[in-house]
């Protein structure tokens, strides 16, 4: 699954650590999601969409 997480994070001048803190996950998890090595759980995807005030579909797309 592709995602816009890195772009959205960069637009806000957040580090991976900043995003990880906001989502209450590890920085390594943020990195894995951004690079497509890990797909977030549905609850985490909702948390990400709430944080950026976007729908899940606006952040995550199929390959």
CATH number of the domain to which 47 belongs: 1.10.260.40
Domain annotation covers residue 38: yes
pTM: predicted TM-score of the whole model, two decimal places: 0.93
Confidence (pLDDT) at 63: 79
Confidence (pLDDT) at 42: 97
Domain annotation covers residue 25: yes
Domain membership of residue 13 as a residue range: 2-54
Confidence (pLDDT) at 28: 98
Domain annotation covers residue 63: no
Apex 10 CA angle, 17 and 25, nearest 5: 30
Question: 53 is written with which tokens?
Answer: 């005030």
Confidence (pLDDT) at 50: 98
Domain annotation covers residue 60: no
Domain annotation covers residue 61: no
List, for the chain, all residue ranges whose pLDDT scores fall below the cut of 50.
Answer: none
SS3 38: coil
Quote the number of domains for the chain: 1
Instruction: Round to whole Å and give the CA distance between 63 and 51.
Output: 23
């Amino acid at each position: 699954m592709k995602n816009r997480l890195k772009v959205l994070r960069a637009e806000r001048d957040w580090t991976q650590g900043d995003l990880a803190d906001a989502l209450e996950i590890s920085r390594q998890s943020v990195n894995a999601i951004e690079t497509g090595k890990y797909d977030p759980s549905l609850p985490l995807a909702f948390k990400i969409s709430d944080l950026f005030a976007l729908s899940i579909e606006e952040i995550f797309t199929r390959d």
